[in-house]
Every structure is written in C-alpha cells, then in structure tokens.
Amino acid sequence: MVNHKISEYLKDYLIIGHGLAGAVLSQQLLEKQQQITVLDLPTSNHSSSVAAGLYNPVTGRKMVKTWMADELFPVIEPFYRQLEQHLNSSFLLDIGIYRPFVSFEEQNDWDAKQSDDKYTPFIKSIRKKNLDSVSLHDPFGGIHLNHAGFVKIPQLLRASRAALIQAHVCEEKYFDQSQLKIKSDHITYENIAYRRLIFCNGIEALQTELFGWLPMHPVKGEILKAKMGKKITTILNRGVFILPLDHEHVRIGSNYQNHFDNILPTEKGKEEILQRLNGVLNEPVTIVDSTAGVRPATKDRRPIIGKHPEYEHIYIFNGFGSKGVSLIPYFSKQFMTYLETENGLIHDVNVSRYYKAYNSR
C-alpha cells in the first residue's frame, strides 16, 4: 500500500534513457495517460543515434529466419506506421531487402521454400539472374525479402523528444544515482516521488549499482556513409548492408568488435567493411563519413526485461543488441502488459533468468 501523504504527489514512472527503447516505451505510457518523466543525456554515439535501423527476417551466412520471426515481424511495420501517425513524422522505409545467393544450391533451396508456409510470408520474389539496376556479384540471382526495411531512428527520436517536450515530461540531464532514494513502495528522485522507475539506459546499465551485475556484452560497430553513382531503391545485404539514404548517398555497414578501447571510428573498421563491400558490390563508392557506437547486447543475445530481483518497483527494458528495431515493438507491448498485470513476459527475455547471478554476486 502506498503511503497516503506521498500518493498525493506521486507520479507514475521515472524513465532513464531516450534511445529507441525509452522513446517507444514513454510514448506507450503517455498514451495510457500515465504521468511520466524521462531523463536523457543524448550522447553522440549511443546505440540508437548510430544504428542503421534495419529489420531483416532472414539473417546470417546460412540465411535462416531470425529468432521469433513469425511473432515479431508481422508487428513491425504496423507498429512504426502507427507511431509515425501519432508523432506526425515519417521514419519507416519498408523498402525490402535483396540478398544475393552464393550458389545454385542456395537458389534451389529458396525456390523450394516458396511453397513452404513457414517461409512464404517473408519471400517477395526469387530472382534467378543478376539484378539489372546495380552491378553486384550475384550470378545466381537472389531473394527479395518481405517484412524488411529500415527505420530512421534519429528522426523517430527527434519526433518523440518533441512530443515529450510539448507534454513537459522530458529533461535533458544525467540521471545521478546518488540522488535516488529507494523506499519500500516507491522511489524519490530529486525530491519527486514516483511509483516506478524504469531503466532504458542501454549499455550504461553496466555502470549502475542496480543493474550492473547483469551479463551485458557491449559490441562496438561502425558504419560508413558514401556517395554512390547508382541509385538503389531497396536494401542490398549479404555480409554487409548497403541502404539508400538520399538521392546520392548510401550507408554501408557494419562490423562487430567485442574488444575496444574507445567508441571512435577506426581505419581498421573502415577497411574491414570495405573489404566485405567489395565481395558484393561492383560499383565505385566514395566514403564521406564514418560513425561508431556500442550495441547493448547480452551474453545470450536476448533482451533483458522485467523487475529488479530485490525492488518490486524498479524495472529494466534493455539488451536489444543489434536488433532493437525488430524486437522493441513486440516486447514493448509484452512489457506494458507485464507492468499492468505482472504477467505476459516470456521467460527467454525475463530478467528473472539472471536472478541467480544477483544472489551470488
């Protein structure tokens, strides 16, 4: 039971972080008429501002459907379309992905999958000869994928921030743990009481006392911006992605670095990406910029969502790794249900799978 004196001044949620996770969650909470405050210190290379924003149902060298693709992918485009309308902005490009085949066997395999119900929703068409519009190393043709495209995350964040500022619920400042007081059924921060606290702070979770024990696994990545003479209208992806940015620029990436000393783009990273690009693309490109950021990945490559093991009113919504765009729509809905009912979170993403690590730390 919440103390009566405090409940008069109690707000509902304090949210730490306005990357893609914090933005989506705060918009959903506002829609449910919750009283929220969002604290965020935008840094130039937090994951969301650097990300390419791809959502892709078929990944990896072996071209397999990604984890929970049948549940996650039907939700993605309707979700971002609705958010675009709600925020009066435009950030979803549902332009599909073209993946060249590497062999006749692969072409045959996917040809057969066209009549397999498990794959049909994701196959737009199979191409048995190379693309005409742009010169690629694709002598065996390739597959045009449905339910694939990208979200311009910085645009989404700008629109969400503007809406939060208009509602007077967003503060551009650092969350300082020393100002947090945890009471039995609420928290206070800078003398304001909140029913609940949610951390959407990406890789910074590792720096907090409350969630620093989690097995998060930061992975640095770099992305190049380049000028390309040929215009592309879909994303090209095989070992490296090339996505159309505007009428003359593309973004190319990315790489994965588990060990790093800083979050700056490097010559080595650029070379690695260009080498992979040369394996796919036959067109000249001129690199004009490069960026780097760190993905909030986890050891088991699953999100980390739910309640702190000790404090009933402190939560985390994090660990979206390299797939925030495809995971966040589906799991933000599960998390909203969980906040209301304490049910609905699948075990694979529930932070409770790590409670043992907390108890034995």
- Catalog residues that contact ligand FAD under the rule CB under 6 A: 16-22, 39-43, 46-48, 50-54, 174-175, 200-204, 221, 223, 253-254, 293-296, 318, 320-326
Q: How far is the CB of 1 from ligand FAD (least distance, A)?
A: 31
Nearer to ligand FAD, 36 or 107 (CB): 36
Nearer to ligand FAD, 148 or 193 (CB): 148
Distance between CA 178 and CA 187 in Å, rounded? 13
Q: How far is the CB of 207 from ligand FAD (least distance, A)?
A: 7
Q: How far is the CB of 114 from ligand FAD (least distance, A)?
A: 26
Q: How far is the CB of 124 from ligand FAD (least distance, A)?
A: 19
**The tokens of 141 are what?**
């043709």
Distance between CA 119 and CA 69 in Å, rounded? 10
Q: How far is the CB of 134 from ligand FAD (least distance, A)?
A: 20
Distance between CA 301 and CA 173 in Å, rounded? 30
Q: How far is the CB of 157 from ligand FAD (least distance, A)?
A: 8
Residue nearest to ligand FAD (CB): 19
- Check residue 136 and report its DSSP letter: B
Distance between CA 29 and CA 13 in Å, rounded? 9
Q: How far is the CB of 260 from ligand FAD (least distance, A)?
A: 11
Nearer to ligand FAD, 107 or 322 (CB): 322
Distance between CA 243 and CA 249 in Å, rounded? 9
Cis preceding-peptide flag for 254 (omega within 30 of 0): yes
Nearer to ligand FAD, 141 or 202 (CB): 202
Calculate the dihedral angle through the C-alpha atoms of 116, 119, 124, 127, rounding to the nearest 10 degrees.
Answer: -70
Nearer to ligand FAD, 141 or 296 (CB): 296
Residue with tokens 């730390």: 361
Phi then psi for 9, rounded to 5 degrees? -105, 5
Nearer to ligand FAD, 107 or 157 (CB): 157
Nearer to ligand FAD, 9 or 174 (CB): 174
Reduce the secondary structure of 170-236 to three states and give it as a string: EECCCCCHHHEEECCCCEEECCEEEEEEEECCHHHHHHCCCCCCCCECCEEEEEEEEEECCCCCCEE
